[in-house]
């Protein structure tokens, strides 16, 4: 192909943007508006400019399928996520070859089987009950801050185990925060610069690794098991029979905690905020909780019967997916639908924009959890329509765990408390890598009286 024809087949470039920064500021201010504007003007595939690189957006199920279906030697996730190496560690996940990373992901699957999910359901309930027990009879909490703490406790126990959780004081919970603060735009360019945020990140990782390594040694010495990811990884073997090294176990645990904790916080917070903002959907959730779960143990089977709550979780995933853009490095020229994307740039799928396409989701800006119930089932009509957990080869391995956790947390909170939002109109805060609601997200609560049924109506007062 001549250069001239190749250039002709390069996807159209979104106009506007600033000389050096390109569309970076627009993308940070309102990515959904920017991308839907591009889609309306150019269709499924178009490019925008970020400092030093061209990003091509693929918007719509067919285009998204092309990105999710591409092999690592064409569109590489690894090349994009290398900034996670100082957090996840050497020799694991994006620092391993694609084949080894696949094998490592496979080693995690036994930790997500039904018998394990059953055990996690008990732990999740225990942690959630203990957490809200400290709330007293009435008051106000910041939902995002509260769920962040609670998911740290749950992740610590389900992934690393009871011993880790027991040592996890509130102070130690700041380690998670320091790790997360190590991810920012600078880290995506060079995660090894001598910056205070990166030094704190490295200290937090070293401390976490030290704790986990000690627990591994104690378990080996005491011949102890656990119903957690750590146990699964200690027993795991690569195809050639080799056990994971302690460093690999630590790395995989930190990676999964990291991938799942803040994302679950955000989806959990939006589930509650949207439900409380649209109170007409609450009675169905409460009635179902009363009939399927009652006041007792929240079993895996009961959780699976909570269809109304599940639809609310999915609607939160659709309206406010925590990962707004998923990127891939174009390793070799990539062709789609007559377009040619030159190697070196980035390809992008945006769950947040994709979920607002009226061709896929009717009235996409309207909160309507019933879109996921029969007979509509809008998520099942189109492959790669609902993509809050990604798609294809790199689809999230923890989706079931995350959804289960959110259902347990809301089951516990809703059956113990009457709730109302301190204000409505919550908007996403696009300034962070995992996009959550802008703080504060204050919720008022009042404990239900013992023995009083928790079926609807549930709201106290009307938000101002
Ligand atoms: C609501 C919570 C969660 C959301 C929204 C979420 C979202 C995602 C998304 C969008 C991807 C694909 C990234 C890409 O294609 O570039 C992904 C991958 C991944 N997620 Fe999650 N995730 C969540 C919870 C979890 C949990 C709880 C775990 C672990 C227990 C987990 C582990 C992973 C791992 C290991 C990958 C990489 C898979 C691969 O590349 O093969 N995630 N997640």
Residue 256 CA: which ligand 1 atom is closest? 29
C-beta of residue 288 within 8 angstroms of C-beta of residue 309: yes
Sequence length of the chain is: 464
Whose CA is closest to atom 41 on ligand 1?
Answer: 394
Pocket perturbation via mutation, ligand 1, pick of 107, 259, 314, 437 by most ligand atoms within 8 A of CB: 259
Residue of 95, 398, 428, 437 to test ligand 1 pocket, by largest number of atoms within 8 Å of CB: 398
Q: Among candidates 204, 224, 239, 139, which has minimal Cα distance to 443?
A: 139
Mean pLDDT within 276-280: 96
Give the model's pLDDT for residue 1. 39
pLDDT band for position 450 (cuts 50, 70, 90): low
Q: Number of H helices and number of E strands within the chain? A: 21, 12
Question: Which is the CATH superfamily of the domain at 3-447?
Answer: Cytochrome P450 (1.10.630.10)
CA torsion through residues 122, 258, 59, 73, sign: negative
- Asked if residue 93 has its Cβ within 6 Å of ligand 1, the reply is no
pLDDT category at 177 given cuts 50, 70, 90 is: confident
- Atom index in ligand 1 nearest the CA of residue 393 equals 41
Alpha helices in 239-365 (DSSP H): 246-277, 282-292, 300-304, 307-319, 351-354
Confidence of residue 180 (pLDDT cuts 50, 70, 90): confident
Cα separation, 349 vs 195, in Å, equals 30
What global pTM score does this model have? 0.94
Residue with the nearest Cα to atom 33 of ligand 1? 396
Instruction: Name the residue with higher pLDDT: 454 or 179.
Output: 179
Computed over every residue of the chain, the mean pLDDT equals 92
104 lines ligand 1 (CB under 6 A): no
Taking the centre of ligand 1 as the mean of its atom positions, its distance from the CA of residue 182, in whole angstroms, is: 18
Give me ligand 1 centre to Cα 110, in Å.
16
């Amino acid at each position: 192909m001549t250069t001239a024809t190749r250039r002709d087949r390069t996807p159209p470039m979104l106009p506007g943007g600033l000389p050096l920064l390109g569309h970076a500021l627009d993308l940070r201010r309102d990515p959904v508006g920017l991308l839907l504007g591009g889609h309306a003007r150019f269709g499924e595939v178009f490019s925008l400019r970020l400092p030093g690189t061209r990003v091509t957006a693929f918007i719509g199920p067919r285009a998204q399928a092309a990105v999710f279906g591409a092999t690592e030697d064409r569109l590489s996730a690894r090349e994009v996520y290398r900034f996670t190496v100082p957090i996840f560690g050497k020799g694991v996940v994006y620092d391993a070859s694609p084949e080894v990373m696949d094998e490592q992901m496979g080693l995690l699957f036994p930790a997500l089987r039904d018998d394990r999910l059953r055990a996690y359901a008990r732990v999740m309930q225990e942690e959630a009950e203990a957490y809200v027990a400290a709330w007293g009879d009435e008051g106000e909490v910041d939902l995002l801050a509260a769920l962040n703490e609670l998911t740290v406790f749950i992740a610590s126990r389900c992934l690393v185990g009871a011993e880790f959780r027991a040592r996890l004081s509130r102070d130690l919970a700041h380690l998670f925060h320091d790790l997360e603060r190590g991810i920012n735009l600078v880290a995506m360019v060079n995660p090894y610069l001598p910056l205070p945020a990166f030094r704190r990140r490295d200290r937090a990782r070293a401390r976490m690794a030290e704790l986990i390594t000690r627990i591994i040694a104690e378990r080996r010495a005491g011949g102890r098991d656990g119903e957690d990811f750590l146990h699964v990884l200690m027993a795991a073997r690569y195809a050639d029979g080799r056990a994971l090294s302690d460093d690999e176990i630590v790395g995989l645990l930190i990676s999964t905690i990291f991938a799942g904790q803040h994302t679950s916080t955000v989806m959990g917070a939006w589930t509650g905020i949207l439900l409380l903002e649209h109170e007409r959907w609450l009675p169905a959730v409460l009635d179902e909780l009363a009939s399927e779960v009652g006041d007792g143990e929240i079993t895996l089977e009961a959780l699976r019967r909570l269809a109304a709550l599940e639809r609310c979780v999915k609607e939160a995933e659709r309206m406010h997916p925590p990962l707004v853009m998923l990127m891939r490095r174009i390793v070799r020229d990539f062709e789609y639908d007559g377009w040619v994307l030159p190697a070196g740039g980035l390809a992008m799928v945006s769950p947040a924009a994709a979920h607002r396409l009226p061709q896929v989701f009717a009235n996409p800006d309207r909160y309507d959890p019933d879109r996921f119930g029969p007979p509509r089932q809008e998520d099942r009509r189109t492959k790669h329509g609902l993509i809050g957990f990604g798609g294809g080869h790199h689809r999230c391995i923890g989706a079931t765990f995350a959804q289960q956790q959110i259902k347990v947390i809301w089951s516990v909170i809703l059956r113990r408390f009457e709730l109302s939002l301190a204000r409505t109109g919550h908007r996403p805060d696009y300034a962070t890598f995992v996009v959550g609601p802008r703080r504060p997200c204050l919720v008022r609560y009042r404990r239900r009286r013992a023995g009083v049924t928790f079926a609807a109506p549930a709201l106290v007062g009307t938000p101002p």
